[in-house]
Structure formats: structure tokens, C-alpha cells
């Protein structure tokens, strides 16, 4: 699909089948520091949390019993519709705790100084740095004094590791550098990845992948301090497309950053 014909919110296309199509830190992780970090937050029953880029609202059931108020925000109309359906099935006491907004992270106008905790799970994926920085600044402004920001983003290092893994494996098998590179390129779908910019073209959209240094730099540039770094590790291996038999490969992982405001 050409850049010109790409639709405005391609996430809406997969909203209905989201849980089966997307590898999610909420559904498929063997290690996710989010749960421990949420448990450590004191006086949660007095606090307001925002799920930014909330998708179909899979985080909502975890936040509901713990926090005073939950804001679920997403730019996708279909995502918002599905979240509202989920909310409508809640008991009335819980229902009144959940606010749902269709908004872009780049424009959180009206939500300044509103949250004690903001969580973005694989929603800061926009390809242009100016949009990433704009979103981070908006998120910072939406946090109250002493607020925290928990961020999960796709990892470019995970892709590089996968590349190395398949390259070394093929080199061992055939002994030829050029052949090993060709196979690694095919497996990693080299033509879809921009290694310089850290972007992956899914055909429907371009998604940003970050190096740890890159996301930490962007956070520092927009006024956040990274208090702890970890990884979300998935139970699934990285899928290699062109190998028979399918090789055992390393597990996929994302960056996990728990930040305060400077």
C-alpha cells in the first residue's frame, strides 16, 4: 500500500480481532514488570491512572479494582467503541470510575495536571520524532506533581538480536557469509525495516521500534527521568519466515521504562 493510500487509523482494522492478532504485554508476556510496579504504588485507591493508547481496554480490568479513577484514551474510533461496550457491561459503581476519550496522544488538551500515573503500552509507535516528542510533552503535562509514567515500546535491539541469531545459525550451516546474510535479510523481512530510523512497515502502517538509548534520550529531552529499566519478555519466539525446519529462536521482548517527571 502506498503512503498516500494508507488509512488514518489502521489500528481500527484489527480492533475486533485484536487479542488474536497482536502479541501483547498484557496477554502473552512471561515477564512483565508492570504488575509489580503497580502493586508498589501507595494509596492507589486515591489515585487517577490513564491508559494512553488503551486499545480495546485490556488493561482496564487490572486497574479498576485498584485505582480511584481510570482514563482510557485512544485515537481509534473502533477501539473507543469497543472500550465503551466493555464499560457498559461493568457494575454501576465501577462504570462511574472509567472515563473514555477518543484523543491523540499528540493532543491531550483539557487533561493537563490530571493523572498520578500514565501508562502507555506499545502506543507510542508513531514514526516521526516530532510526533513522539509532542506526545511525550503532552503526557508530561497531563501528570500531576510526583506523577509516574510507565512506558512499553517495541525494541530495535530485539530485531538486531534476531538478525544476529539467524545469521550465525546459517553461517554455521553453510559457511558462506553472503548466503547467511541473504537468509537473515529474508527472515527479518529486511525490506520492511528501516534500521536507521528504527521503523517497520506492516503494509497498513509504519511502526516505530526504539533502541534503549534512543527512547531514554527522547524521554530526557522531554523532561522525564528514567527511574527503572526492564524488559517485557514474551512467551512467543521471534517468528522466522523462511526456514524449514523452523529453528528455535530467542523470545521477543520490548523495552519497559518507569519514569518520573524532572
Ligand X SMILES: C[S@@+](CC[C@H](N)C(=O)[O-])C[C@H]1O[C@@H](n2cnc3c(N)ncnc32)[C@H](O)[C@@H]1O
Per CB under 6 A, residues contacting ligand X are: 9, 11, 22, 24, 26, 53-55, 58, 74-76, 79, 104-106, 121-123, 125-126
Point out the residue whose Cβ comes nearest to ligand X. 55
CB of 34 to ligand X, least distance (A): 10
- Least Cα distance to 120 among 133, 136, 103, 144 occurs for 136
CB of 15 to ligand X, least distance (A): 7
Decide whether 101 or 242 has the Cβ nearer to ligand X.
101
Decide whether 48 or 122 has the Cβ nearer to ligand X.
122
Query: Which residues, including other chains, have CB under 8 Å from residue 58's CB and lie 6 or more apart?
Result: 19, 24, 26, 27
CB of 125 to ligand X, least distance (A): 6
Decide whether 79 or 98 has the Cβ nearer to ligand X.
79
Distance CA 251, CA 244 (A): 19
Q: How far is CA 179 from the centre of its chain?
A: 34
CB of 154 to ligand X, least distance (A): 9
Write the DSSP symbol of residue 78.
H
- Least Cα distance to 131 among 51, 238, 53, 22 occurs for 53
CB of 46 to ligand X, least distance (A): 24
Residue 3, SS3 per DSSP: helix
Decide whether 131 or 182 has the Cβ nearer to ligand X.
131
Decide whether 21 or 168 has the Cβ nearer to ligand X.
21
Query: Using N-to-C axis directions, what is the helix angle for 177-187 and 156-174, rounded to 10°?
Result: 140
Amino acid at each position: 500500500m502506498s503512503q498516500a493510500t494508507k488509512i488514518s487509523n489502521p489500528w481500527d482494522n484489527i480492533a475486533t480481532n485484536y487479542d488474536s492478532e497482536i502479541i501483547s504485554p498484557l496477554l502473552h508476556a512471561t515477564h512483565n514488570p508492570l504488575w509489580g510496579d503497580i502493586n508498589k504504588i501507595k494509596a492507589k485507591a486515591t489515585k487517577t491512572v490513564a491508559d494512553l493508547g488503551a486499545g480495546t481496554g485490556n488493561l482496564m480490568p487490572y486497574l479498576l479494582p485498584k485505582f480511584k479513577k481510570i482514563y482510557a484514551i485512544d485515537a481509534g474510533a473502533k477501539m473507543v467503541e469497543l472500550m465503551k461496550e466493555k464499560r457498559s457491561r461493568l457494575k454501576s459503581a465501577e462504570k462511574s470510575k472509567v472515563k473514555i476519550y477518543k484523543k491523540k496522544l499528540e493532543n491531550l488538551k483539557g487533561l493537563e495536571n490530571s493523572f498520578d500515573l500514565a501508562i502507555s503500552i506499545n502506543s507510542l509507535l508513531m514514526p516521526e520524532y516530532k510526533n513522539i516528542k509532542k506526545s511525550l510533552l503532552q503526557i508530561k503535562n497531563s501528570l500531576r506533581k510526583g506523577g509516574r509514567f510507565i512506558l512499553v515500546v517495541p525494541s530495535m535491539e530485539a530485531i538486531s538480536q534476531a538478525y544476529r541469531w539467524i545469521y550465525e545459525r546459517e553461517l554455521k550451516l553453510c559457511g558462506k557469509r553472503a548466503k547467511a546474510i541473504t537468509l537473515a535479510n529474508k527472515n527479518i523481512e529486511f525490506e520492511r525495516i528501516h534500521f536507521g530510523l528504527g521503523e517497520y512497515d506492516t503494509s497498513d502502517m509504519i511502526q516505530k521500534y526504539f533502541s534503549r538509548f534512543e527512547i531514554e534520550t527522547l524521554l530526557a529531552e522531554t523532561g522525564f527521568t528514567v527511574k527503572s529499566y526492564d524488559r517485557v519478555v514474551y512467551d512467543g519466539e521471534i517468528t522466522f519466515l523462511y526456514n524449514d525446519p523452523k529453528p528455535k529462536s530467542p523470545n521477543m521482548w520490548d523495552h519497559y521504562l518507569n519514569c518520573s517527571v524532572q
